[in-house]
Amino acid sequence: MNDESVDESAFRRACGNFPTGIAVITTLDDDARPVGLTASSFTSAALSPPMVLWTIGPHARSFDSFSRASHYAVHVLHKEQQALAAHFAGCGEDKFARLDWQTGAQGLPILPDFSVCMECAVEDVHPCGNQKLMIGRVINIISRNREDALVYFHSEFHYLDRS
Ligand SMILES: Cc1cc2nc3c(=O)[nH]c(=O)nc-3n(C[C@H](O)[C@H](O)[C@H](O)COP(=O)(O)O)c2cc1C
């Protein structure tokens, strides 16, 4: 099968076979207001130095903020956070209004609950089809040592729990 025969929905269905974790990624906009979105594209990219990558699509209202950001915070979600994932995948006006978020050491918005939070410095931003590929260097890790994870598989949320 060559790429000309692969339509978008077939590709989407094919990718649905690959289970991923779920992250909420946050940064500040030009007016220093917190912005954030749910992302399943997040993955580790290199161990030394510690690098991560994810992609952001053009329809995200936070696209320009993330494109210009120097830092962002990746919150990996645990199994009880499906509602939070849906919240940050939505288009509510102020997604942070009812959340007890804090400002982290890098000035980033840090959510109250997560499995692990990685504060990242932007290393590179590349065009990638209709998306932007965001490459970050992990500069701080806050771990809650959980044994469970929220998972996305075949367009649905699931969870893993090894406790
Ligand atoms: C399970 C799931 C995974 C998603 N993964 C991504 C992703 O990796 N990159 C992306 O740009 N949008 C992703 N989205 C869509 C964004 O979360 C959604 O467009 C969001 O409204 C963007 O927020 P904003 O408009 O406030 O920037 C995902 C949505 C869901 C439900």
Average pLDDT over residues 16-39: 97
C-beta separation of 67 from 124 below 8 A: no
CA distance 152 to 12: 13
The predicted pLDDT at position 3 comes to 57
> Which superfamily is assigned to 3-156 in CATH?
Electron Transport, Fmn-binding Protein; Chain A (2.30.110.10)
Per-residue pLDDT tens digits for 74-97: 999 999 999 999 999 999 889 999
Would you say the pTM of this structure is higher than 0.95? yes
**What is the residue extent of each domain of the chain?**
3-156
Residue 70 Cα to ligand 1 midpoint, Å, equals 20
* Of 64, 68, 30, 50, residue with least CA distance to 136: 50
Residues contacting residue 65 through CB under 8 Å, at least 6 positions apart = 27, 28, 29, 30, 35
CA distance 18 to 15: 5
Helix (H) or strand (E) holding 103: strand 102-103
CA distance 146 to 117: 12
pLDDT above 70 for 26 = yes
CB neighbours of residue 84 within 10 Å: 22
C-beta separation of 37 from 60 below 8 A: yes
Token pair belonging to 3: 């790429």
pLDDT above 70 for 2 = no
**Residue 31 binned pLDDT confidence (cut-offs 50, 70, 90):** very high
Residue 144 Cα to ligand 1 midpoint, Å, equals 24
The predicted pLDDT at position 71 comes to 98
Instruction: Tell me which residue has its CA closest to atom 7 in ligand 1.
Output: 39
- Looking at per-residue pLDDT, the higher value among 3 and 128 belongs to 128
CA distance 37 to 67: 13
CA distance 23 to 74: 6
The predicted pLDDT at position 93 comes to 82
For ligand 1, pick from 38, 74, 133, 155 the residue to mutate: most ligand atoms within 8 Å of CB.
Answer: 38
pLDDT above 80 for 1 = no
Token pair belonging to 80: 């009880």
Per-residue pLDDT tens digits for 84-143: 999 999 998 899 999 999 999 999 999 999 999 999 999 999 999 999 999 999 999 999
Which of helix, strand or coil describes residue 98?
Answer: coil
- Backbone dihedral region of 131: left (phi > 0), alpha (psi from -120 to 50 degrees) or beta? beta
The predicted pLDDT at position 5 comes to 84
Per-residue pLDDT tens digits for 34-80: 999 999 999 999 999 999 999 999 999 999 999 999 999 999 999 99
Residues in the ligand 1 pocket, defined by CB under 6 Å: 22, 37-41, 54-57, 59-62, 89-91, 152
Residue 23 Cα to ligand 1 midpoint, Å, equals 10
pLDDT above 70 for 33 = yes
Instruction: Tell me which residue has its CA closest to atom 18 in ligand 1.
Output: 89
